[in-house]
Amino acid sequence: MTAPPPTAAPQPPILHLCEVPQARAAVAAMIHAEFWADVPGASVERMAARLAQAGSPDALPLCRVAMDGDRPVGVVNLIDYDDPNPRIGRPWLAGLVVAPRWRGRGLGSRLVHTLLADARRLGEVQLFLGTDGPGFYTRLGAQVHRQLQPDFWLLRFDLG
pLDDT tens digits for range 35-68 = 999 999 999 999 999 999 999 999 999 999 999 9
- Beta partners for residue 67, in sequence order: 72
Radius of gyration of the CA atoms of the chain, in A: 16
Report the mean per-residue pLDDT for the chain.
Answer: 91
Rounded Cα–Cα distance for residues 127 and 108 (Å): 17
pLDDT at position 5, please? 45
pLDDT band of 160, cuts 50, 70, 90: confident
Rounded to 5 degrees, what angle do the CA atoms 14, 112, 140 make?
140
Confidence of residue 130 (pLDDT cuts 50, 70, 90): very high
* pTM exceeding the 0.75 threshold for the entire prediction: yes
For the residues 71-88, what does the mean pLDDT come to? 82
Confidence tier at 131 by pLDDT (50, 70, 90): very high
Rounded-to-integer distance, Cα 132 and Cα 84, Å: 17
Question: What domains can be seen in the chain, in order of their start residue?
Answer: 15-158 (3.40.630.30)
Residues 160 and 151: their CA atoms lie apart, in Å, by: 29
For residue range 85-122, what is the model confidence (pLDDT) as tens digits?
Answer: 556 778 999 999 999 999 999 999 999 999 999 999 99
